[in-house]
């Protein structure tokens, strides 16, 4: 049965019209589901009773069931959800002074096998459906009600969003719809390894922020850390970004995971400056977050500082994103659904 949670407004209007109801009823239902987080027809009080009866068997509860919540010392929280087929995924909330960011997953596992990412060691189990992506947001929004608002959503959890392009785009459109969640596209970020065709589709479909996970400034290093680089090398990925018509005052974000002895030397910083020359971007340096199954190590703090200072000296806006939630394996690259 098609899940109403996955339908964009125009699709929902068509389904409601098939039930013999005026299209404006679809807007009311859409607002109940996505704006207020109501998933039971009998609670949609501005609908006529007969319509609520007909809707009842068509509406489903959230397809994600909370299994476990872990809270780190810094306030970061990791949520493990069980899906209807028994698979598990993880989501993370990161509280800051003026914002709370939710990190959602788009796949069960990941096929890309990046060496620094725990999710990649799972392999790909399957793509998440639209309602499973949105379900993470709605479940955590409900749990956070009255405590804190989820101000930003980043598609940086388990999986590569562009490998699940259609569902990613549909979820983003529902999250930003004014009758639904009403989130500003500027508060939504998609993090990707950079798959040129889908990247261009995403850019033209919805104006969210894009973070490119680069992690190596030359093809040898990046291919060693990220096998996808053998198919889509640095030059191809950056050429794609350069030809996208970025709006004035907007920038791409380049994410660069610093791994001790792998990509954190001065020569790496010099090469990074060269390959990013002329691209409107800022750089987020992410010191590697170790996890139990890896032999990779984090960088020395002095090397992180030196790397940042060199990039800044060459005019690149550069920030260090220190680990959050590492004590509960909730930091960047550590999610796995405990399936390893």
End-to-end, the C-alpha distance of the chain in Å comes to 32
Instruction: Identify whether the C-beta of residue 39 lies closer than 8 Å to the C-beta of residue 33.
Output: yes
Find tokens 């610093």 and name the residue. Answer: 258
Q: Are 141 and 190 in contact (CB under 8 A)?
A: no
Cite the active site residues: 90, 332
Q: What pairs with residue 107 in β-bridges? A: 127
Paired tokens of 262 = 């792998």
The residues, ordered by sequence, that sit 6+ positions from 155 with a Cβ below 8 Å of its Cβ are 104, 106, 161, 168, 172, 188, 189, 190, 191
* CA-only gyration radius of the chain, Å: 21
CB 102, CB 140: distance < 8 Å: yes
Two structure tokens written together for 321: 């994103």
Question: Could you tell me where the beta strands, DSSP code E, fall in 32-164?
Answer: 64-71, 77-83, 88-95, 100-103, 107-110, 123-127, 152-155
State how far the Cα of 44 lies from the Cα of 31, in Å rounded to an integer.
Answer: 10
What are the structure tokens assigned to 289, written together? 């977050």
229 contact partners, CB below 8 Å, separation of at least 6: 216, 219, 222, 223
Helix (H) or strand (E) holding 283: strand 281-287
Could you please report the per-residue DSSP string of 177-216?
-TTTT---GGGEEEEES--HHHHHHHHHH---EEEEE---
């Amino acid at each position: 049965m098609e899940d109403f949670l996955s339908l964009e407004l125009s699709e929902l209007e068509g389904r409601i019209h098939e039930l013999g109801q005026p299209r404006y009823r679809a807007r009311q239902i859409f607002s109940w589901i996505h704006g207020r987080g109501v998933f039971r027809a009998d609670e949609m009080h501005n609908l006529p009773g007969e319509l609520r009866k007909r809707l009842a068997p068509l509406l489903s509860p959230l397809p994600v069931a909370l299994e476990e919540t872990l809270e780190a010392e810094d306030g970061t929280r990791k949520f493990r959800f069980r899906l209807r087929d028994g698979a598990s995924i993880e989501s993370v909330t990161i509280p800051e002074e003026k914002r709370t960011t939710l990190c959602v997953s788009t796949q069960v596992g990941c096929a890309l096998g990046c060496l620094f990412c725990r999710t990649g060691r799972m392999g790909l189990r399957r793509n998440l459906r639209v309602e499973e992506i949105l379900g993470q947001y709605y479940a955590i929004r409900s749990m956070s009600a009255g405590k804190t608002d989820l101000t930003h959503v980043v598609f940086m959890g388990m999986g590569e969003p562009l490998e699940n392009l259609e569902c990613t785009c549909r979820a983003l459109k529902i999250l930003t719809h004014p009758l639904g969640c009403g989130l500003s596209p500027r508060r939504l970020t998609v993090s990707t390894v950079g798959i040129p065709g889908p990247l261009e589709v995403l850019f033209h479909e919805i104006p969210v922020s894009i973070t490119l996970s680069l992690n190596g400034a030359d093809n040898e290093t990046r291919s060693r850390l990220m096998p996808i680089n053998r198919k889509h090398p640095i030059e191809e990925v950056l050429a794609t970004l350069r030809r996208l018509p970025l709006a004035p005052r907007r920038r791409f974000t380049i994410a660069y995971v610093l791994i001790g002895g792998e990509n954190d030397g001065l020569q790496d910083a010099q090469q990074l400056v060269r390959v990013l020359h002329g691209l409107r971007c800022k750089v987020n340096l992410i010191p590697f977050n170790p996890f139990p199954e890896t032999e990779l190590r984090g960088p020395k703090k002095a090397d992180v500082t030196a790397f940042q200072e060199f990039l800044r000296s060459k005019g690149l806006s550069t920030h260090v994103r220190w680990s959050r939630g590492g004590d509960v394996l909730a930091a960047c690259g550590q999610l796995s659904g405990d399936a390893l």
